[in-house]
Each structure stands twice: as C-alpha cells, then as structure tokens.
C-alpha cells in the first residue's frame, strides 16, 4: 500500500485510544510508515533526481546501492520476526511495559501481506521462511485504490462528525 494510506489507516486505528494523546498517535503513524521510509526513501530520492526516462519500477532491479538497499532492507523491515525482536527489546528496556504505538509497524506489515502480490511481496516471516502471499490484490489497482480511499474517507467523516458529536452530548 502507498505510504499515505498506511499513515491514514494507522491514524484511524489508533484514533479512539489516543485521541487525547497526539504524541503517541503520531508515533503510531510514524511506526506505520517507518518500514517503507527505511526501505524506499534513498531509492525514491535517487529515482527522482536521476531517473531520466526510467521509472522506479524499471530501476528497482538495478544493482545501484540504493536499490539493493531497498530490496534487502524491505525483507527486514517487513518481517514479523524483526518486529517481534524489536518488541522483545522494548519490553526488556521498559521492564515488561508494552509501547502500543509500536504496533503501527505490525499494522503496516499486515496490510502489505494482502496488498503486494508481485512487486515487493512481503516476506513477513523473514529470515525464518521465504513464504510470501501470492494471492494478494495489488494496492495500485485503480479499483482497489478507489475502495481503499473511499473507506478511509468514510472513516474520517465518521470520526470528525458522528463520533465527535457524540462526545459533545455526554
């Protein structure tokens, strides 16, 4: 899924529990987009400034370090195994107290498992397994994007009209 949709979905998911805690909600959104930021920012910047006639998809198989970085780091940042290790470290540092915004990262991986059928399939069990979901629907399909952003818009309308109005009557 695109980075904007990841951010919007993460914000919606965390809104109810963190509506009065903007800092933690923004951290959740950050963790919800962080896997793509780490993997794709260098390659995207390179493609933007050096692409010429090529586009990102054509350049993604390049052996330039930015595209090698994107491919290799994608395996790590989109792995539930990596997330589990990070959660274990955070739990150890925080003496058993979970930092819930970190699960925005898990939401990102979960969404990508079902929306990346071919280009950058999500290796969610890396390095334990190379299994990837071959039956996903591409997030870049126009119909999927229309449904996805319509669902996001409906949820934001609900949040900012119905749910906020209910709060005023309590």
Model confidence at 105: pLDDT above 50: yes
Within 13 Å, how many C-alpha atoms sit on residue 90's CB side? 13
Q: Output the pLDDT for position 168.
A: 54
Model confidence at 56: pLDDT above 80: no
Is residue 16 very low, low, confident or very high in pLDDT (cuts 50, 70, 90)? confident
What is the rounded average pLDDT for all residues in the chain? 91
Kindly list the distances between the CA atom of residue 19 and the CA atoms of 13, 39, 42, 59, 126, in Å, as whole numbers in the listed order. Answer: 11, 29, 33, 41, 34
105/108 Cα distance (integer angstroms): 5
Q: Output the pLDDT for position 50.
A: 79
Cα 95–chain centre separation: 27
Q: Output the pLDDT for position 53.
A: 55
pTM to 2 decimal places: 0.89
Kindly list the distances between the CA atom of residue 97 and the CA atoms of 17, 82, 169, in Å, as whole numbers in the listed order. Answer: 17, 19, 35
In percent, the amount of the chain with pLDDT more than 90 equals 72
Q: Picking from 53-57, 74-78, 98-102, 141-145, which range would have the lowest pLDDT averaged per residue?
A: 53-57
Mean pLDDT to the nearest integer, 75-90:
98
């Amino acid at each position: 899924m695109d980075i904007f949709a990841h951010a919007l979905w993460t914000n919606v998911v965390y809104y109810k529990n963190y509506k009065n805690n903007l800092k933690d909600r923004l951290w959740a959104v950050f963790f919800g987009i962080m896997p793509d930021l780490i993997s794709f920012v260098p390659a995207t910047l390179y493609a933007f400034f050096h692409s010429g006639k090529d586009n990102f998809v054509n350049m993604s198989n390049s052996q330039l370090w930015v595209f090698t970085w994107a491919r290799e780091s994608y395996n790590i940042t989109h792995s539930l195994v990596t997330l589990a290790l990070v959660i274990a470290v955070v739990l150890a540092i925080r003496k058993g107290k979970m930092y819930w915004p970190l699960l925005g990262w898990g939401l990102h991986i979960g969404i990508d498992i079902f929306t990346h059928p071919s280009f950058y399939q999500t290796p969610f069990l890396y390095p334990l397994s190379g299994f990837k979901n071959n039956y996903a629907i591409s997030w870049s399909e126009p119909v999927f994007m229309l449904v996805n952003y319509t669902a996001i818009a409906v949820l934001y309308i609900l949040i900012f009209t119905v749910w906020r109005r209910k709060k005023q009557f309590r």
